Structure 1
């Protein structure tokens, strides 16, 4: 019986299996019409029965982005029905006269007000009668809603009214999401938006996980990756799918942290370029966390890794805009029809540009399992270039340059804008398309070292195997530093930790559990918080963190502890990265597949072409070169040097000296 990690992307589905004998991998096109089909097909190809399946899924994400969720009703206090549409009145595009908000997930006819009221102190100031509940449930049921999001004022302090409404709505046959379960924190709009998002995707996620579980071997355990980098049981993911909106990208970041610690790379920028998008994150010895993200026009406020995503992937479509400028993405060709070289469509993509320039082998894509058709590309790139006054080669290199510019901006968001210099980090490149662009990105950012792990196209799936089972718990407390000492702060965690232990004991009885404390803190009068670990002096830690992020601190100002957080982790069995001795100098003869012509910066060159599976620890190579494997190809431009380290990573020195292996 095996432990299996699965990552379902917009273009490919990746499956990696861990047994006592090592790893086995499968990569196959995704099936957007029924994502479970590709997952089950990949598991069948392994021919090893799965004991546990750890799954990163885009089902919740896509349901939100594509507006394919359930018909959802929003239930709140009378007079507050429209908060889900009003929002915060922010203007993200201040100077765009034609700016339009995303349509609300809940139309006006499906917003319902309930009597009853709880005060800001958590006291009932208006009762919610049984008659009022029956009347409201009848109206919701008659509206045609399939799911209901219930978010009452101050329910995070006293959830009894929400519980009564939720029970009655569930008895009426609706899928129900309660804000006191999904996000027991203050700020009613963010709480409402997150609960609505959960209610909107819950029926879709429940159906998908049901189909998937039905196809698994009897007794196999199914877990789903959360946006926070921890696993939850499938039953929990059915109820709280909003916790999985960054499920797939989180796997790669978790794997990056594990690999970095093993190989000696403590400071990494992760660069995950897949078929549809690129996801980047920063690892400074630990996972970087964020409090919320925005998806489909809604703030999603759940614990999540600090991952920045841009619509630039191998399948991103290239076109000229109204002004004649070359644009790449965010639209993607997806798995169907896919890039033009798949032979099913005419939309040019980043993958087509790489193939046209000779950086991919048409006969060895996906290990030769998926032939490509390069003969279609000269005519298509000639037409694209002619429309913009470019040659075909200039058009193809322009497509790559535009995509790389978008990815460079994304990396600057999670590094420079967070107070970090990218030059102080190594770039960890993975995803099916990452290795084709990693060195160019490193040069743009001043990064000296690029690390490409084994099986880069399946690295996010590998990360599922390194994740612990995790649940996050929170409680808004609003405690001021001039009225609360550290002993009192520690005492505030008591109820939260008791709840965490009870729930985790049910989910993983007898397992080893670790509780991690965190505080959301701010200066009194501010409207934003910073997450601070509960250390010996969290107030001092907050001052220092505030200065690092914003450039100043107020040592004499009153600090507010806004929210307490507990992360409960159940430690799982994990694979181990083992280091082999480096015995080889140069490249084994059997690793050289031949030479390939390619174009780099407008000039034709001849590149060495290597089989990565035949490279051994200690193998050294220099650019121009292509390193091919089943899940990806790595492009080494002229002037760089690379070495295979003891863990099988391809470590690239961007300046061309000896590769800086750890």
Structure 2
């Protein structure tokens, strides 16, 4: 049996899982303490977890075909201010150079209260750009305390030669260096340089860790190439980490979403990964997790990351009481207070306990705990309350000793002179306030309504938080399968690869394009998110072989583990979105992988005096996941061989005109499993150019379904 191994390095524990490469089912899981203080750093814990996993699951090292790990190290480095001083080496010329001199001078960045990333800046004009001057500037930055350099030039994304020379000469002087063109291909020198500075600041520590980890993996006899989780849900090679470690930031939450959607068929939903101290919240829309630019120290970067928002509420959150009233839940947790949870303790140890008030760090004595006759203390947590009220079921990871939960709540209720059940609800309401505020804002930001919305819980503490939240919000709920190891599962499934080989003598451009397309479609079928797919083409002239290697990040949704749904079942899935149900639901078109379902639903307007029938088009995959939903959209059917001639006349009929000129509608093309999204372009000629590229190399007789809807705001 060939397996994929995923490892997630958390703040407290390092979790590892083995996944069957054919069925994608969990083979085994282990947990070891994270080795922050070992000589080898967290690498020691990674190897400990790996060795324990292989031994307990009786897996031979030769059967490990994929190995990846996610890490909180980059995130923690920024949170704790554990970063290197960065020297900024800027260059430019003329008036543009004067602006570059200002834009590249990034001031010290406050990463956390009282913790700064410090910088030193130098600039030279391109007329003085020679090796001697470059080396002198590098030495000046070194003398100013810079441990690592960033090379910055205004248009390096188009011509990176000068940035590369600075890097090479810096490395010749044994100083680590990066450049702005390595971290982003976008214009905007200030933001690109800031991103480069943040990236550079964690280079020394991350390179040290990755070298130790890679060496340890090789010593363990693992032949599979070590990969590292990225913040966008994909993975990267260790070589890429050595140049762009910033991409590993927030990789833990990204892995959690990837793992949860492996098992859950979610079209529109909220995913909450709940630990002991905090909850990471992300949004799923049309089967995809929303992405935004990452923010560090209040500054936007050019790093694409899942839009994850963290709230200081989780299973271990303690209860804050002032003047006999519950005033807050969290952000302090049992983990921070170094206290055991009452709900996971022996009920005999809690009997005859009294309420005491404890503090953690600089807090006042306002968090409640139990203290027994022997002086042992136990935290009363959100997990205790949720267990007491029955929201945590026996099959949930957060399920604890029900008698202990009852004792803890009753002792607290007596101390506050309240009814235990009412007190428990009051505590859950206080906790829910923080999460609901973030959730409501995210739904607003991404224009998601509550029709068909599902709340998905992941992480060991999910059942302590998510069921009550879903009840308060009035949406459906699911706790993901294997929720306690959802992050390493996501890591294990983060990338797929497919190879297509064809024997062709003297291949033409059309041959290469066709095989490239075949590899792209193969890797998408295997579960890769289309926007992440990259294809490398190799031509072996001696053997007359053309080889295309497609790689991509695993699509952040479920794998094809079960059967395809029938058309009737697909229509029922769509109907579940609405309450009351639409008057009409029917399939109006389809590809071999996608169903186009139209609903017609009456809506009352003008205080019920008028009825209007609302038409909505839903694009649904064969497993029932709704990939696209557009109101009042038109559906047209073409074929690849005539799309170039027939699409433009169709589009010209539906464009509108306003004060700003032509208004192009949102346009989507469906082919097989793919949705070709043209909604981001605002010119018909751009649409046609994009369509030409996307349909190049396809079978001329293949069907193309066109969805045309009003442009989104």
Structure-2-length-normalised TM-score: 0.57
Asked if 1:406 is matched to 2:407, the reply is no
**Which whole-Å deviations, capped at 9, do the CAs of 1:541-566 have from their partners, x for residues lacking one?**
996679xxxxxx999999999xx9xx
**Which whole-Å deviations, capped at 9, do the CAs of 1:81-138 have from their partners, x for residues lacking one?**
7742289xxxxxxxxxxx999668443xx41222125xxxxxxxx4512232121111
User: Would you say the 8 A contact 2:280–2:308 is kept in 1?
Assistant: yes
Q: Which residue of 2 aligns with 1:94?
A: none
Distance change (3 Å), C-alpha of 1:332 and 1:195: farther
Q: Which residue of 2 aligns with 1:69?
A: 83
Q: Which residue of 2 aligns with 1:246?
A: 250
Q: How does 1:193-592 map to 2 (within 5 A)?
A: 193-216=194-217, 217-218=220-221, 219-261=223-265, 265-319=266-320, 326-330=327-331, 334=335, 337=338, 341=342, 352-355=381-384, 358-359=387-388, 378=408, 382=412, 398-447=426-475, 449-468=476-495, 511-513=549-551
Q: Which residue of 2 aligns with 1:43?
A: 50
Distance change (3 Å), C-alpha of 1:66 and 1:377: farther
The Cα of 1:27 is off from its aligned counterpart by 3.2
Which range moves more in the overlay, 229-238 or 204-213?
204-213
Q: How does 1:150-189 map to 2 (within 5 A)?
A: 150-189=151-190
SS at the partner of 2:89? strand
Q: Which residue of 2 aligns with 1:111?
A: 120
The count of aligned residue pairs is 479
**Which whole-Å deviations, capped at 9, do the CAs of 1:307-362 have from their partners, x for residues lacking one?**
2222322344554689987334445554783656589x975699724226644999
User: Would you say the 8 A contact 2:535–2:548 is kept in 1?
Assistant: no
Runs (5+) with no aligned partner, structure 1: 88-98, 118-125, 471-496, 517-534, 547-552, 565-662
User: Would you say the 8 A contact 1:166–1:176 is kept in 2?
Assistant: yes
Following the alignment from structure 1 to structure 2, what is the Cα–Cα distance between the partners of residues 542 and 168?
51
Distance change (3 Å), C-alpha of 1:434 and 1:105: same
User: Would you say the 8 A contact 1:155–1:180 is kept in 2?
Assistant: yes
SS at the partner of 2:186? coil
Following the alignment from structure 1 to structure 2, what is the Cα–Cα distance between the partners of residues 233 and 172?
26
**Which whole-Å deviations, capped at 9, do the CAs of 1:200-241 have from their partners, x for residues lacking one?**
112222222223223322224211111111111122123211
Asked if 1:80 is matched to 2:108, the reply is no
Following the alignment from structure 1 to structure 2, what is the Cα–Cα distance between the partners of residues 368 and 313?
11
Following the alignment from structure 2 to structure 1, what is the Cα–Cα distance between the partners of residues 359 and 407?
9
Following the alignment from structure 1 to structure 2, what is the Cα–Cα distance between the partners of residues 302 and 556?
25
Distance change (3 Å), C-alpha of 1:106 and 1:454: closer
User: Would you say the 8 A contact 1:12–1:335 is kept in 2?
Assistant: no
User: Would you say the 8 A contact 2:203–2:242 is kept in 1?
Assistant: yes
User: Would you say the 8 A contact 1:423–1:445 is kept in 2?
Assistant: no
Distance change (3 Å), C-alpha of 1:554 and 1:456: closer
User: Would you say the 8 A contact 1:6–1:16 is kept in 2?
Assistant: yes
The Cα of 1:61 is off from its aligned counterpart by 0.5
Q: How does 1:25-36 map to 2 (within 5 A)?
A: 25-33=29-37, 34-36=41-43
User: Would you say the 8 A contact 1:378–1:392 is kept in 2?
Assistant: no
Of 56, 74, 80, 1:60 maps to 74
The Cα of 1:40 is off from its aligned counterpart by 2.7
SS at the partner of 1:135? helix
The Cα of 1:14 is off from its aligned counterpart by 2.2
The Cα of 1:452 is off from its aligned counterpart by 1.8
User: Would you say the 8 A contact 2:276–2:335 is kept in 1?
Assistant: yes
Structure with bigger strand share is 2
SS at the partner of 1:80? helix
SS at the partner of 1:421? coil
SS at the partner of 1:272? strand
Following the alignment from structure 2 to structure 1, what is the Cα–Cα distance between the partners of residues 553 and 487?
26
**Which whole-Å deviations, capped at 9, do the CAs of 1:173-207 have from their partners, x for residues lacking one?**
22212111111211222211211111111222222
User: Would you say the 8 A contact 1:149–1:179 is kept in 2?
Assistant: yes
Which range moves more in the overlay, 196-205 or 349-358?
349-358
User: Would you say the 8 A contact 1:231–1:468 is kept in 2?
Assistant: yes
Distance change (3 Å), C-alpha of 1:67 and 1:10: same
Structure-1-length-normalised TM-score: 0.61
Distance change (3 Å), C-alpha of 1:375 and 1:434: closer
The Cα of 1:253 is off from its aligned counterpart by 1.7
Following the alignment from structure 2 to structure 1, what is the Cα–Cα distance between the partners of residues 103 and 463?
49
SS at the partner of 2:549? coil
Q: Which residue of 2 aligns with 1:621?
A: none
Asked if 1:16 is matched to 2:17, the reply is yes
Following the alignment from structure 2 to structure 1, what is the Cα–Cα distance between the partners of residues 408 and 269?
38
Runs (5+) with no aligned partner, structure 2: 92-97, 346-357, 361-366, 369-378, 498-530, 540-546, 555-643, 656-661, 668-678, 691-713
User: Would you say the 8 A contact 2:81–2:112 is kept in 1?
Assistant: no
**Which whole-Å deviations, capped at 9, do the CAs of 1:27-58 have from their partners, x for residues lacking one?**
34444444334333322221134523221111
C-alpha RMSD of the superposition:
4.8
Q: Relative CO higher for 1 or 2, CA cutoff 8 Å, sep ≥ 6?
A: 1
SS at the partner of 2:258? helix
SS at the partner of 2:87? strand
- Tell me which structure has the larger Cα radius of gyration: 2
Q: Which residue of 1 aligns with 2:5?
A: 4
Distance change (3 Å), C-alpha of 1:514 and 1:22: closer
Distance change (3 Å), C-alpha of 1:31 and 1:415: farther
Distance change (3 Å), C-alpha of 1:15 and 1:443: same
Following the alignment from structure 2 to structure 1, what is the Cα–Cα distance between the partners of residues 414 and 124?
61
User: Would you say the 8 A contact 2:428–2:468 is kept in 1?
Assistant: no
